[in-house]
Chains A and B, each alone.
Chain A
Amino acid sequence: MLGHKFTNAADACALAHAIVNTVREPIVVLDQELRVIVASRSFYSTFKVDPTVTEGRLFFDLGDGEWDIPKLRTLLEKIIPEHSTMEDYDVEHDFPSLGRRTMCLNARQVVYKGGTETTILLGIEDVTNMRALVNQKDELLRDKDILLEELRHRVANSLQIIASIIMLKAKRVSSDEARAHLEDAHNRVMSVATVQQQLHVAGVGRIEIQPYLTKLCGALAGSMIADDRAITIKVLGDGGSAPCREAESFGLIVTELVINSLKHAFTGAKKGGLITVSYDVSGGDWKLSVADDGIGRLPDGEFAQPKEGLGTGIVNALAKQLKAQVETTSGPQGTSVSITHAVFTAKKVRAA
């Protein structure tokens, strides 16, 4: 483009000089031997050097040898033979006039039309403040992670203390009713802790439900099925994801229902068995269910799992929050509780 504007070389050269002297970042033009042909005004003012002691000298001999770095030398020396470029090479140095600074160097070969001469254009950018800000940002992010981990650690320890005190108290009270209430409180603390733990592992934003429920059930099995109980928890489903808040509700529902099964389904002659947790999605609809193959009904015909109570109330409240319906079936094959969310599109009635 510029070739069409300028018919003589002197004008083009004047423009090039003007550009070099206008840009704020120091620029140096080097010959094939890496001697300084010319440098920008900003180079001289930034590094407090004079053109008379700069032009004609090898770039590596400038100043107090701050540019005499073996790797930089190698990079610059191969630009012309390999027609390569040098990008974002940082030099950290105590510059006599500037103090400790980080300079980012970029260089490329300039090939002139019809000529045999070639030069290297070397740009130098002071990135000290920018690098310091990046380092500061990285440090702050690290601090944030450490603080979050510390907070999580403290919460887990506090929940351990609360849960343990409640359970130890439960072991020592003489009233069966008081013991049952304390054990129930202990289980609530544990279920909230387990869900929070698994949500933390799953991350933020949308949560992949299948791996989240698998890990949650693994944790429930690990922390709530004693070594002498042959009970397995299996998670099935076809994937799907949900926002963190919904995932938290799913987790609390599953925990509540799994605890119910562990507590009521495998008693008497039925000591072990299988609990199946499944989550299926179809468009905007989903179905979460927890089924066990334990004793669905007691010998007197009553449901083995309570139809009323705090646990049922929690599941119903969470289902309502999720705009879902709860359905419980119970029989000789065990108990199954399904929470279904179905989207129904209302059809407009048109007049005939």
Chain B
Amino acid sequence: MTNGRSPSQANLQTVLIVEDDQLLKLITRDIVEEAGFSTLEASDADEAIALLATRSDIAMLLTDVNMPGSIDGLKLAHTVRARWPHVKIVVVSARGDISTGDLPVDSRFFRKPYGIGVMVSAIQSLIGSGSRALANRVYLDV
């Protein structure tokens, strides 16, 4: 069953960051906001699903895999693909055993540590260039 609404593209500018490590969450928020997007934060999949159920402006899910809670980040990604198909998905993890076959279709995976440039580039190619002034800056890791 799809509970997701289909909001217009105009107000899709928020990235939902799901990460249980507070410092990593802070850093990820900085990266995403530097790229020109608003952020919402959750510490586990349950919090993330609660936010997705009440907010219509979430354009992208950026989730870690290993987290406490009822489901991990991979299951969260599949749940989001099924219930909110318009939400773009980026999965990050330090785990070496994750392959594209584990991910929902049309999602991206980055192994930690990832470069900021490729992450920003991926976010921008998935949901646009962002609305804030900083989005116009060029990010390259090399």
- Which residues of chain A have a CB within 8 Å of any CB of chain B? 149, 152-153, 155-157, 159-165, 167-168, 171, 183, 186-187, 189-190, 193, 197, 200-201, 219, 222-228, 259, 262-263
With both chains docked as a complex, state the minimum distance between the C-beta of B12 and any C-beta of chain A, in angstroms. 19
Q: How many residues of B contact A (CB 8 A)?
A: 29
| Among A155, A197, A226, contact of B118 (Cβ-Cβ < 8 Å) | A226
Contact A224 B117 (CB under 8 A): yes
Contacts between chains A and B (CB distance < 8 A), count: 94
Contact A159 B113 (CB under 8 A): yes
Q: Which of B96, B113, B114, B115 has the largest count of A CB atoms less than 10 A from its CB? A: B113
Indicate if B50 sits at the interface (CB-CB under 8 A). no
Contact B115 A223 (CB under 8 A): yes
Contact A189 B118 (CB under 8 A): no
| Among B23, B96, B110, B137, contact of A223 (Cβ-Cβ < 8 Å) | B110
The docked-state distance in angstroms from the alpha carbon of A259 to that of B140 is: 12
Describe A's contact surface by its main secondary structure: helix
Q: Which of B96, B122, B142 has the largest count of A CB atoms less than 10 A from its CB? A: B142
Interface CB pairs A-B, < 8 A, 27: A152-B94, A152-B96, A157-B21, A159-B112, A165-B27, A167-B115, A167-B116, A168-B34, A171-B34, A171-B139, A190-B115, A193-B113, A222-B118, A223-B114, A223-B118, A224-B115, A224-B117, A224-B141, A224-B142, A226-B118, A226-B139, A226-B140, A226-B141, A227-B122, A227-B125, A228-B125, A259-B142
With both chains docked as a complex, state the minimum distance between the C-beta of A189 and any C-beta of chain B, in angstroms. 7
The docked-state distance in angstroms from the alpha carbon of A1 to that of B111 is: 69
Q: Which residues of B contact A153 (CB under 8 A)?
A: 66, 94-95
Contact B94 A223 (CB under 8 A): no
Contact indicator per residue, chain B 80-104, by CB within 8 Å of chain A (1) or not (0) = 0000000000000011100000000
Contact A227 B110 (CB under 8 A): no
Chain B's closest residue to A156 (CB) is: B94
Contact indicator per residue, chain B 111-137, by CB within 8 Å of chain A (1) or not (0) = 111111110011001000000000001
